[in-house]
């Protein structure tokens, strides 16, 4: 009897509500992908495509590559969705960090649904502000021919072009944000995450095309990679996906005992539960932070015509030892930094103490908080080390198998973590609908767990 049963996929279309949600989700994702091909007015698309083609050959690790990945390739075409959902992600991370340091926001986050809606509204405002600022600087960047090695990208530069670009790109980001919220309410899965995943998956076809050109099955003399290399890559892909799933799902269960309590005239029985401590609590956020910090100065330095800045830019480009070392250390740092912000052992210990809960063998109060901090610190090290390895694995693959970065990016980094995590979350929600209507889930032993 196989562990995984794919027959529940057929049952998903037997539940009217689930079928409706799946079709709405698919339709909204299609709308998003159509928008990724509508060009921004006033842009010479051919010249811009040539510029990004040069970047792909010489600077595979610029900040533009990250934004282009999250926008599903819309940035290199400068379509109406060129900014993608990055302003929303940035605003969400900023609000989440501010919630941990500003008492008013922390209090608001604990007010239930009303508080979360208020924070979401602040996030929307932040998205609008960030998208307008980013769109304006992109317009200025596009108008300067010196940034494009003499290529003229803008047909009619000036304030007219700047205003149109700001209006177009910021409206596109707001529309994507609205699409994500509609998927969240009327569809299935996390809307914003599905939009990002759709953009990442859309890069599979160009990657396969590059791989086919390198393989050159019709001309062995022009072949740059061998068929045996494809077998190795397939095995590595399966192994990477399996490892990411295991770490994403992995957690340390801390047992908790609750004694009998008298509530009014009733007596509750003693209960046992557990606190799930995730091995990878930071997830892809640590990679996003690390990439942004290490690539921003490299991207800026690459545009300054000075030998010292050019050497700095080259040293901080993907594939160099300095880049790999700093990148891995930054990821480990941000894993601990983010975990320290979202995980508060003192608060958990205090809440347990209020209801009489305790960890067997550990005294309530401060000893419990110290124990939780001790355990979380050590399992975070394992999760951070794994995330660092996954993040630099594409660089290793490029050097070892001599494949382009677009192909290697599917074997690690931000893309694989987001895709696997979103697929797990979506399957978890579909499985919940199946179990509610008395159908079997996707796996017979255990249940699918999402990222949270």
Residue 71 and residue 36: Cα distance in Å, rounded? 8
Q: What are phi and psi of 43, to 5 degrees?
A: -115, 135
Tell me if domain 1-196 and domain 226-411 are identical in fold: yes
Of residues 253 and 290, more confidence is placed in 253
Helix (H, G, I), strand (E, B) or coil at 44: coil
Which CATH superfamily does the domain covering 1-196 fall into? SecY subunit domain (1.10.3370.10)
Of residues 237 and 314, more confidence is placed in 237
Q: Return the pLDDT at 330.
A: 87
Instruction: Based on DSSP, count helices (H) and strands (E) in the chain, helices before strands.
Output: 19, 4
Q: Return the pLDDT at 167.
A: 93
Q: Return the pLDDT at 115.
A: 82
Of residues 57 and 82, more confidence is placed in 82
Of residues 66 and 139, more confidence is placed in 139
Write down the domain spans for the chain.
Answer: 1-196, 226-411
Residue 1's pLDDT band (cuts 50, 70, 90): very low
Q: Return the pLDDT at 59.
A: 44
Segment holding 37, helix H or strand E: none
Q: Look over the chain and give the mean of its residue pLDDT values, rounded to a whole number.
A: 79
Of residues 151 and 386, more confidence is placed in 386
> Which stretch, 38-42, 178-182, 263-267, 419-423, has highest mean pLDDT?
178-182
Q: Return the pLDDT at 441.
A: 58
Question: Residue 265 to residues 259, 262, 357, 387: CA-CA distances in angstroms?
Answer: 17, 7, 21, 52
Question: Residue 377 to residues 333, 343, 374, 382: CA-CA distances in angstroms?
Answer: 12, 11, 5, 9
Residue 368 and residue 29: Cα distance in Å, rounded? 46
Express each pLDDT in 401-445 by its tens digit: 777 777 777 887 777 888 888 888 888 888 777 777 666 655 655
**Predicted model pTM:** 0.76
State which fold the 226-411 domain adopts. Answer: Preprotein translocase SecY subunit (1.10.3370)
Express each pLDDT in 343-393 by its tens digit: 888 888 888 888 778 888 888 888 888 999 999 999 999 889 998 888 888
Express each pLDDT in 201-238 by its tens digit: 888 887 888 788 777 766 666 677 777 888 888 888 88
* Mean pLDDT, range 81-102, rounded to an integer: 82
pLDDT at 301 over 60: no
Residue 63 and residue 395: Cα distance in Å, rounded? 16
DSSP letters spanning 125-181: HHHHHHHHHHHHHHHHHHH-GGGGTT---BSS-SHHHHHHHHHHHHHHHHHHHHHHH
In angstroms and rounded to an integer, the radius of gyration of the C-alpha atoms of the chain is 24
Residue 417 and residue 100: Cα distance in Å, rounded? 25
Of the listed ranges 72-76, 303-307, 377-381, the least confidently predicted one is: 303-307
Residue 277 and residue 416: Cα distance in Å, rounded? 22
Helix (H, G, I), strand (E, B) or coil at 106: helix
């Amino acid at each position: 009897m196989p562990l995984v049963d794919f027959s529940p996929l057929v049952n998903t279309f037997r539940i009217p509500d689930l079928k409706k949600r799946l079709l709405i989700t698919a339709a909204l994702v299609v709308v998003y992908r159509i928008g990724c091909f509508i060009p921004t007015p006033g842009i010479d698309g051919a010249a811009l495509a040539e510029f990004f083609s040069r970047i792909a050959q010489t600077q595979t690790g610029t900040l533009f590559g990250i934004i282009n990945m999250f926008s599903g390739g819309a940035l290199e075409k400068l379509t109406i969705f060129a900014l993608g959902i990055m302003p929303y992600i940035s605003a969400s991370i900023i609000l989440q960090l501010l919630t941990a340091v500003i008492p008013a926001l922390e209090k608001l986050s604990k007010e239930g649904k009303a508080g979360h809606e208020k924070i979401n509204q602040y996030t929307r405002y932040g998205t609008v502000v960030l998208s307008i600022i980013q769109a304006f600087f992109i317009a200025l960047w596009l108008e300067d021919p010196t940034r494009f090695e003499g290529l003229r990208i803008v047909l009619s530069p000036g304030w007219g072009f700047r205003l149109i670009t700001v209006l177009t790109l910021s409206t596109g980001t707001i529309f994507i944000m609205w699409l994500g919220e509609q998927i969240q309410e009327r569809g299935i899965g996390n809307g914003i995450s599905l939009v990002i995943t759709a953009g990442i998956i859309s890069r599979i076809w160009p990657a396969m095309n590059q791989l086919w050109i390198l393989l050159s099955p019709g001309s062995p003399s022009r072949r740059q990679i061998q068929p045996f290399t494809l077998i190795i890559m397939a095995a590595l892909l399966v192994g990477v996906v399996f490892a990411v799933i295991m770490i994403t799902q992995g957690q340390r269960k801390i047992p908790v005992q609750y004694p009998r309590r008298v509530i009014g005239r009733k007596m509750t029985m003693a209960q046992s539960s557990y606190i799930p401590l995730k091995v990878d609590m930071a997830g892809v956020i640590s990679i996003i932070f690390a990439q942004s910090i290490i690539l921003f100065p490299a991207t800026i330095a690459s545009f300054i015509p000075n030998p010292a800045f050019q050497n700095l830019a080259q040293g901080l480009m993907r594939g160099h030892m300095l880049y790999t070392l700093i990148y891995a250390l930054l990821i480990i740092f941000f894993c601990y930094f983010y975990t320290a912000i979202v995980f508060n052992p003192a608060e958990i210990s205090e809440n347990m103490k209020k209801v009489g809960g305790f960890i067997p063998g550990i005294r309530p109060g401060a000893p419990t908080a110290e124990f939780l901090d001790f355990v979380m610190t050590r399992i975070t090290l394992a999760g951070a080390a794994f995330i660092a390895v996954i993040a630099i694995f594409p660089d290793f693959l490029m050097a070892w198998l001599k494949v382009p970065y677009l192909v290697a990016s599917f074997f690690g980094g931000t893309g694989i973590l987001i895709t696997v995590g979103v697929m797990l979350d979506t399957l978890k929600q579909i499985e919940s609908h199946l179990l509610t209507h008395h159908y079997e889930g996707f796996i017979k032993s255990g249940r699918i767990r999402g990222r949270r």
